[in-house]
Amino acid sequence: TCKPLRCRGRGPECVCPQLPDLIETKTGEEDEDVIFKMRTKMFRFVEASKEWKERGTGDVRFLRHKEDKKVRVLMRAERTLRVRANHPLSEKLALKPHAGSDRAFTYFTPDWSEDPETGKVEQQNELFAFRFANPENANKFKDAFVKCQKGESDDMPVIKQDAEDAEKATTEKSA
Q: How far apart are CA 112 and CA 126, in angstroms?
A: 10
Output the pLDDT for position 170.
45
Output the pLDDT for position 14.
66
Residue 44 near residue 127, CB atoms below 8 Å: yes
Q: What is the pTM of this model?
A: 0.76
Output the pLDDT for position 25.
79
Output the pLDDT for position 5.
55
pLDDT per position in the chain (175 positions), as tens? Answer: 455 555 655 566 666 666 677 888 787 888 999 999 999 999 999 999 999 999 999 999 999 999 999 999 999 999 888 999 999 999 999 999 998 899 999 999 999 887 767 777 788 899 999 999 999 999 999 999 999 999 888 877 777 765 455 445 444 544 5
Q: How far apart are CA 61 and CA 127, in angstroms?
A: 18
